[in-house]
Amino acid sequence: MVEFDEAFVLSESLLAEPLPDRWRHVQAVASEASRLGGLDGVDAEDLRVAAILHDIGYAPAIAHERFHPLDGARFLAREGCSDRVVALVARHSCAVVEAQLRQVVGVEYYVDEVSPTRDALWYCDATTGPQGQRLTADERWAEIRHRYGAGNVVTAFLDQAEPELRAAVDRTLSRMSTAGIPI
Ligand SMILES: [Fe+2]
């Protein structure tokens, strides 16, 4: 079990120096996650921990497979994170679809819990830009398509995953509306 403060230090230690933009992004994702802890069905602590750790697999020191959801999940399991947080990281933002496109094996063995906590993590990631700026999901996806271009595997992933990503975003927006949390 890893608590948020410990997770923050772990993420900072691996990302801040080699990947400062990525570190800004994950801090902003965690900050947005902190606003959503009161949503119906959301586990506030697991959401914050998963948010600050979700992209740790980009860290060069642990990027063994060069597929960040899987590298992150395997590292976090070794670090003592709960099975739930490990699986949230492994499956975040429809990673299983990109894994299939890249022919990376392993992500599919983790459970995608399809819960309000999982949806909220996907929402926070989809509404946070590469340097931590706040965006709508549509702005974020347009930015990704522009950055990678047609024909790139990331763009192909987005084309395939967008309906499921959008469903998670829309469910979270609906829960935010019910809870009176502004966008
Ligand atoms: Fe992310």
Centroid of ligand 1 to alpha carbon of 68 (angstroms): 10
- The Cα-based distances of 64 to 14, 88, 113 in angstroms read 14, 19, 26
- Contact in structure between 13 and 2 (CB atoms under 8 Å): no
The pLDDT score that the predictor gives to residue 22 is: 98
Q: Which helix (H) or strand (E) holds 177?
A: helix 153-179
DSSP string spanning 65-80?
Answer: SS-HHHHHHHHHHHTT
Centroid of ligand 1 to alpha carbon of 125 (angstroms): 5
Centroid of ligand 1 to alpha carbon of 129 (angstroms): 8
The pLDDT score that the predictor gives to residue 157 is: 97
Centroid of ligand 1 to alpha carbon of 26 (angstroms): 6
Centroid of ligand 1 to alpha carbon of 179 (angstroms): 24
Of the candidates 30, 33, 34, 28, the one whose C-alpha atom is nearest the C-alpha of residue 7 is 30
The pLDDT score that the predictor gives to residue 166 is: 98
Centroid of ligand 1 to alpha carbon of 40 (angstroms): 23
Domains and CATH numbers, the chain: 4-177 (1.10.3210)
DSSP string spanning 44-113?
Answer: HHHHHHHHHHTTGGGSGGG-SSS-HHHHHHHHHHHTT--HHHHHHHHTGGGHHHHHHHHT--SGGGS---
- Contact in structure between 84 and 140 (CB atoms under 8 Å): no
Centroid of ligand 1 to alpha carbon of 37 (angstroms): 18
Phi, psi dihedral angles at 134 (to 5 degrees): -80, 135
Per-position pLDDT tens, the chain of length 183: 789 999 999 999 999 999 999 999 999 999 999 999 999 999 999 999 999 999 999 999 999 999 999 999 999 999 999 999 999 999 999 999 999 999 999 999 999 999 999 999 999 999 999 999 999 999 999 999 999 999 999 999 999 999 999 999 999 999 999 999 999
The pLDDT score that the predictor gives to residue 2 is: 85
